[in-house]
Chains A and B, each alone.
Chain A
């Protein structure tokens, strides 16, 4: 099978092109010697099935960030039949350096100039013929977003793959990568010959939007208002979907599963219906809201607004020893902490990276969101819900700030903060859909894996030994709950909630599912039972603990692999558990002292 490497500078739409070429068939691949997950997909080009690998974005083949090293390492260890370089047409004057660096490797190469649509609007015209002659390999303009030029590009790829070529071996490439040379001069020459650019360029629309969104006084309030409205939109639009889903799941149980499984032994029937079905069903009811959440998040991410948020927040973040990029990672953590932790690779200074990694697990991820939506719907009336939810997001920020301030002296850094501001881009529906779908697939995959195992375990622990009432003190679960009682009673968490918390350590997706299994109930009946067992102060304390303590095993594993330090991983676990307990304790005892 032929192998094609896709590489380019950040913000050039490389991933959009990858998604377009692969049509969402992408999977995460394992590459020997490379610690990062690289996406790859099989594509059909020129009668070949070729493997297309999406390498990380890089500015400079000879640079020294993690991503740049990954690319070099990949090219030095794996034979490739074609390198596709993706650059941004409107910034070709400076990005061409990357194409020249790749050219020196002697690999079959083609250059795709993306964002042709934007370049055209800015009055840039590129003579691909002239550029191709100078570079010595084919050049094609495309718009990955709208698909213009993509069929031609694919054809071009096929042609190159069909040509017999003398391919540099990875060893040759490795040798060449050691030397750096006269790239800059050549780059200037080619731009001078092949590119005509208006002297002063600016995108009027982006400028106008920036004038408002980056306004010295209005910028931050607008940002927070926009975030609040987005979340409000997600919950308002998601509520009917969620109710519909719960209704359908209940209907399935009474109309299909109960009659179907009635012949089974009682214990198996219990395990299947009260265990697995209730557990998964309770979690599945939240899937529509999570889908909506990721669709909106990916839209914000692709729009270019996040870099603006980094600009607005940098001075505040600097006071906490972090920078604007850290703020963006925290926002990404609202989706899922794991990619946010991996995103810290853009930081070159280790102390800065570690400090950012220490605070990311405190950002309220979508799995925790699910627990809160459930608890809030159970314990509060509708008009309080939005405020409680907003309050939890604020607590998330406060714990982040507190942690950063307390630890910033241990993790001092002088990392420069330099970031490119891309023009605003309105993602196409296809782009939003693909991004959103990737996230949802990832979420469902994780959720289903953990939840099935989790709910089965919870069911077993709450039903054995069989001679006592389910979930009572006599069961395994009851015993474990008793064991932790001295620590958890002072923060108002009873035995049932304790079991849910313990399983929540594996993944927060299990928490709601395990509550369903512990009580043996589903839907409204479950909510009523919980509302009878605990009051809102206990519920709030439970939510605070859930918010702050270790998010999930995947986060812990990522923490260890990214920091390459077990000590740091333990610091993160111990700190978050301790902080969770202290804050829940202050809240619970404070509220009780006030007579609530």
Chain B
């Protein structure tokens, strides 16, 4: 078990839990972050910038701090 923020580019995992308040949870949900979905880290921006992840056919960028809230099971 790890969090999305710990992945290295190219690695993927399955969403196990999302620790977020109502608003953020809903937003993540609408973008396709759902428990049981597979998620891959594509790249990180330099200078501790955001993470570029892929869920299904959707590419999303989010910050490290939000990525820490997403718990993954490694495949």
Contacts and interface: CB of A to CB of B under 8 A. Distances in A.
Contact of B60 (A210, A219, A318, A420): A420
A59 B50 contact: no
A59 B31 contact: yes
Given A94-B32, A202-B54, A417-B66, A63 B59 contact: no
Contacts of A214: 43, 45, 52
A292 B61 CA distance: 31
A585 B66 CA distance: 44
B27 A416 contact: yes
Contact of B59 (A314, A417, A421): A421
Given A59-B27, A60-B30, A94-B56, A419 B46 contact: no
The CB with the most chain B CB atoms within 10 A, among A62, A91, A94, is that of: A94
A228 to B, nearest CB: 21
A217 B46 contact: yes
A62 B23 CA distance: 11
A98 to B, nearest CB: 9
Contacts of B32: 91, 93-94
Interface in B15-51: 23-24, 26-28, 30-32, 42-50
A418 B62 CA distance: 4
A90 B50 contact: no
Interface residues of B, number: 29
B66 A420 contact: no
Given A94-B58, A421-B59, A59 B52 contact: no
B57 A122 contact: yes
B73 to A, nearest CB: 18
A115 B45 CA distance: 29
B27 A417 contact: no
Contacts, number: 103
B28 A420 contact: no
B51 to A, nearest CB: 9
Nearest to A214: B43
Given A315-B49, A324-B50, A63 B27 contact: yes
A570 to B, nearest CB: 31
A461 to B, nearest CB: 52
Nearest to A324: B50
Interface in A29-76: 59-60, 62-64
Given A59-B31, A418-B62, A93 B56 contact: yes
B60 A63 contact: no
A497 interface: no
A202 B53 CA distance: 12
B63 A314 contact: yes
B62 A417 contact: yes
A201 interface: yes
Given A214-B52, A315-B48, A417-B66, A91 B26 contact: no
B45 A314 contact: yes
A420 to B, nearest CB: 6
A60 B27 CA distance: 8
Contacts of B47: 315-316
Contacts of A417: 50, 61-63, 66
B27 A420 contact: no
B52 A63 contact: no
A348 interface: yes
A493 interface: no
A59 B30 contact: yes
18 contacts: A63-B26, A93-B57, A210-B43, A217-B46, A312-B45, A315-B46, A315-B48, A416-B24, A416-B63, A417-B61, A417-B63, A417-B66, A418-B27, A418-B60, A418-B63, A418-B66, A419-B61, A421-B59
Interface of B: 23-24, 26-28, 30-32, 42-50, 52, 54, 56-63, 65-66
Interface of A: 59-60, 62-64, 90-91, 93-94, 97, 122, 124, 197, 201-202, 210, 214, 216-217, 219, 307, 310-312, 314-316, 318, 324, 348, 416-423
Give the 3 A-B residue pairs with the shortest CB-CB distance, closest first.
A315-B49, A59-B30, A421-B59
Given A90-B57, A197-B57, 13 more contacts: A59-B30, A60-B26, A62-B26, A91-B56, A216-B44, A219-B46, A311-B45, A315-B46, A315-B47, A416-B62, A418-B28, A420-B59, A421-B52
